[in-house]
Amino acid sequence: MHRFFIAPEDCHNTPLHLSPQESKHARSVLRLREGDRVVVLNGAGKELLCQTSEVRSDAVSLEVIQENIVAPLPFEITLYQAVAKGKAMDFIVQKAAELGAYRIVPVLSERSVPDWDEAKAAAKVDKWRGICIESIKQCGSAWLPKLDLPMTPKAALADAGQSDLSLIATLQPDAKHPREQIDAHAAEQGQAPRKLAIWVGPEGDYTPAEINTIRTGAQPITLGPLVLRSETAAIYCLAVLNYELQARP
């Protein structure tokens, strides 16, 4: 069944209306007809089973048949990702959404990209939000990750202070397996972390000075002996942390 996205503030209308772009895709590419059933996701925990009541090239109207409330994951993972070059960042954002990241915070490290002005940063975040929307439609998630404007490492470190546990992927010799860090937190706090931050560097990693700064608030984890691309490291971290946290009460 085809999936579409309608923002929460627009899900109170009766009937629901797809955006002009979604409508064109529904009619011209998916060949939807009146009476077809589709699923609408609002990115805030609602999954709506709908039936098309009107299909035009620039407008599709939907009647809600059933509303389902989808509970979020019992934990929140925030990815503090150094902005990767080229299309790598788009790929990271896409996979982070598919892997259930709660929040994505782009980090402007010295080895990632030049400083952006507010307009360019906002345009990038808007583009990444569109990628997230396409990702949740593909994987069927009812929850859209939160996307922040890019931050400096110092600002991101202060932001990550709200997490129960903060981790940084690194090749440094004292880095531990992610499970060890989660176990240590659980032993000390009596439960696994519910809000977890994971830092992933750019190609070439964060600078030594940046690593030292981040490590004042984050515990080092290893991803094994191989040097991974930034996008591979991000996927690795999110997949492993999801696995570890879902296996715990």
Stated pTM of the model: 0.92
Q: How confident is the model at residue 223 (pLDDT cuts 50, 70, 90)?
A: very high
Burial of 37 (0-12, 13-18, 19+ CB in 10 A): middle
What are the DSSP calls for 22-82, one per residue?
HHHIIIIIS---TT-EEEEE-SBSEEEEEEEEEE-SS-EEEEEEEEEE-PPPSSEEEEEEE
Least confident piece of the model among 5-14, 36-45, 221-230: 5-14
List beta partners, residue 151.
107
**Percent of the chain residues past pLDDT 90, beyond the cut:** 75
CATH code of the domain occupying 76-246: 3.40.1280.10
Q: What pLDDT score was predicted for residue 114?
A: 62
Domain ranges across the chain = 3-69, 76-246
pLDDT digits (tens, 9 = 90+) for 74-84: 999 999 999 98
Mean of per-residue pLDDT scores for the chain: 92
The answer to whether 3-69 and 76-246 have equal CATH topology is no
* Beta strand pairing call for 219-221 and 60-69: unpaired
Q: What pLDDT score was predicted for residue 112?
A: 82
* Mean pLDDT confidence for 202-218: 92
Domain 3-69 part of CATH 2.40.128.30: no
Question: What's the CA gap between 59 and 17, in Å, rounded?
Answer: 7
Asked if 45 and 141 touch (Cβ cutoff 8 Å), the reply is: no
Q: What is the CA radius of gyration of the chain?
A: 20
DSSP three-state, residue 140: coil
Q: What pLDDT score was predicted for residue 58?
A: 82
* Mean pLDDT confidence for 60-75: 93
Q: Is the dihedral of CA 136, 139, 141, 147 positive or negative?
A: negative
Q: What pLDDT score was predicted for residue 134?
A: 95
pLDDT exceeds 80 at position 244: yes
pLDDT digits (tens, 9 = 90+) for 137-187: 999 999 999 999 999 999 999 999 999 999 999 999 999 999 999 999 999
pLDDT exceeds 80 at position 57: no
At residue 6, what are phi and psi to the nearest 5 degrees?
A: -135, 130
Higher pLDDT: 237 or 25? It is 237
pLDDT exceeds 80 at position 97: yes
pLDDT exceeds 70 at position 247: yes
